[in-house]
Chain A
């Protein structure tokens, strides 16, 4: 089945720890995105990537880092610099990054502080 797989489903971070959220897609989509959703809030863009080995900061990139070494993979690292990491993290992809192709989402990862 084609889709977007995020793992793990739940993740706990200790003080001062970096954690990495996985996002893999087998849809052959060019563009991939990371969003953060807080309770009762809309989605906010963290990072996005249009092609392999290239990515851009979104509205709330501070405290996060990404890589795009393969077309199908776009992992997100939540660093210790992100002081309020508790949120629902959503990865999305779209066929082309032209503003007309819909973005489709994975099932998400819930991150909490221990």
Chain B
């Protein structure tokens, strides 16, 4: 059973702080990893994707991948109240696979 695990939270951070969201995956063959943001009652919105070990930065967001540890993280710098949402981690199932396995999400609350 392929699994993607996330701490459900809620994770509370003060405005302006760095929020760190973590995700582990069970399928060692997973190649691609995606972070989605989902506001309450809305559909998921793509934030970042990463394929290679290391860091990938886009504005205030940094995705980190460590395939040896089967670990993916998302850092949000200078957190804003508008970042308050549930963040979903997803991983593909093996090389060349198109199916995504989603975690249950981490709820982030940014306190003004």
Contact = CB atoms under 8 A, between A and B. Distances in A.
Interface string A94-106: 1001111011111
A48 interface: yes
Nearest to B45: A105
Chief secondary structure at chain B's binding surface: loop
Given A58-B99, A105-B43, 7 more contacts: A40-B8, A42-B102, A48-B98, A90-B43, A90-B44, A94-B98, A105-B45
Nearest to A44: B102
Interface of A: 31, 35, 40-45, 48, 50, 58, 90, 94, 97-100, 102-108
Contacts, number: 56
A103 B98 CA distance: 10
Interface of B: 4, 8, 31-32, 34, 36, 42-46, 49, 51, 88, 90, 92, 95-105
Nearest to B51: A100
Contacts of A58: 99
A11 to B, nearest CB: 15
B103 A98 contact: no
A102 B96 contact: no
Scoring B31, B43, B44, B103 by chain A CB atoms within 10 A of each residue's CB, the highest score goes to B43
Chief secondary structure at chain A's binding surface: loop
Contacts of B97: 99
17 contacts: A31-B98, A42-B4, A42-B103, A43-B88, A43-B100, A44-B102, A45-B99, A94-B98, A98-B96, A99-B31, A100-B31, A103-B34, A103-B46, A103-B100, A105-B44, A107-B43, A108-B42
